[in-house]
Amino acid sequence: MIKDQDFLKAKAAHCLDVAKKIGATNASVTIGHSISETVNFRNNNLDESNRSDGLAFSIDTYIGKKKSSISSSNLLDQNLNTLIEKCYETTKITPEDEFNSLPDQNLLADSLKNLNIYDDTHIENHKKIDYLKELESTASEDKKIVNTESSFTEKKSNFILANSDGFCSGYKTSSFTASCVAVAKDEKSMERDYEYSSKRYLDDIKDPKSLGKIASHQTIRKLSPKKIGSEKLSVVFDKRIAKGMLSAFASAISSSAIARGTSFLKDQLNEKIFSNSINIIDKPDIIKGLGSKNFDSEGVKSDTLNLVKEGILKSYLVDSYNGRKLNLKSNGRSGGTTNLYFENGNQSYDELLKMNSRCIYITETIGHGSNLVTGDYSVGATGFLVENGQFKYPINEITIAGNFKNMFKKIFLANDLDFEYSTNSPTMMIEGMTVAGK
């Protein structure tokens, strides 16, 4: 059972008292506890079962504009006292930084919404095993499937964030995640693909048969891929790949990257960077959302941000420290985005596929080919050739490339948005990308 709020609050209060008594002008402490249980299957047999139980403590101590941090997994008072003293002594010899301080008090969260992000349900290991047996049995029904790996993880966590300005709050979270990786083989190739489901509530994850069928289908359809030549083509990104574009965008608008001048989107606030049809929202209060939260890692209230409106960049992701460098107020994004998504486009999935007589549909990218300083993008990929809206055959060993500055302005979105992850996108098409093949 995870530690309750009273236990965590008492530990946080103790840490702040010690820091104050030894001379820290300010301090901020996080105390957390998490329990994770995982069962792994391989080829219809139990492979591994494990449980982790983790306690975490971290504190920032300030002496004026000097700051240092320390962390540990030992919450015994004697250990905490020793670590806080070490942190304080380190702070003394740390150079001053004019931007160091706790977040503005008027920005701190003063109340918590009920976001339904904690499910008290516990699923016993034997039921996890039953789920995975059914999942793998379904996934391996077709003889082309020669290998399966699956897992089921239940995680519960609780934390308290407190600082010397009087802020003290936290909440519980839960997640249930089931996944399946399948390997298929025919006379020409061996391919792999996957499917997974992750939700806050146990009852919301995909049933094992559905998950197994999807993993099997997505793997088998990739068999016997062909190669294509190099050309300029429109590229359609499957939803689970399209969300990676949003992740790159989020990294490029983080206030740390902007303050360092290491983003291709620096100096682009209130400039048009997408087409008129594109809207991007970060919404922290989606009920049961995987990224939902009331406040960020500093305690600053997280409100909905319209990051891009009709193609215009309206906001960066701002934390307190880098916000002061940029003369901007924190908008509750220390630690990154919450539930980030593209709003739906204007055409259906089928209409998007038919916008070009010939395009490629990407189901997997290989490598990390995003240069956020220049905006250059280049990754290996596999997928399908699409002609007149119909999938013709699988393709592999291609590279797709472009530059985000141009790519962003050529994005078209379908209207099939689902909130399966903390970052979500409808099916996406980008016109005129460079495709390098054989």
Along the 438 residues of the chain, how does pLDDT read in single tens digits? 899 999 999 999 999 999 999 999 999 999 999 999 999 999 999 999 999 999 999 999 999 999 999 999 999 999 999 999 999 999 999 999 999 999 999 999 998 999 999 999 999 999 999 999 999 999 999 999 999 999 999 999 999 999 999 999 999 999 999 999 999 999 999 999 999 999 999 999 999 999 999 999 999 999 999 999 999 999 999 999 999 999 999 999 999 999 999 999 999 999 999 999 999 999 999 999 999 999 999 999 999 999 999 999 999 999 999 999 999 999 999 999 999 999 999 999 999 999 999 999 999 999 888 999 999 999 999 999 999 999 999 999 999 999 999 999 999 999 999 999 999 999 999 999 999 987
For the chain, the domains span 5-220, 231-436
Neighbours of 241 (CB within 10 A): 21
pLDDT at position 1: 83
284, 224 contact by CB (below 8 A): no
In which order are the strands placed within the sheet that holds 340-342?
312-313, 305-309, 280-282, 340-342, 423-424
User: The tokens of 188 are what?
Assistant: 């020409």
- pTM for this prediction: 0.95
Report pLDDT for 437: 85
For the four alpha carbons of 6, 7, 12 and 15, in that order, the dihedral sign comes to positive
Structure tokens at 424: 């979500």
Given a contact cutoff of 8 angstroms between Cβ atoms, the answer to whether 381 and 398 are in contact is: yes
- Assess contact for 247 and 280: CB atoms under 8 A: no
Annotate 38-63 with DSSP letters as a single string: EEEEETTEEEEEEEEEEEEEEEEEEE
Q: Are 433 and 232 in contact (CB under 8 A)?
A: yes
CA 41 to chain centre: 25
Fold of 5-220: PmbA/TldD fold (3.30.2290)
Looking at residue 368, its pLDDT comes to: 80
- CB of 291 within 8 A of CB of 339? yes
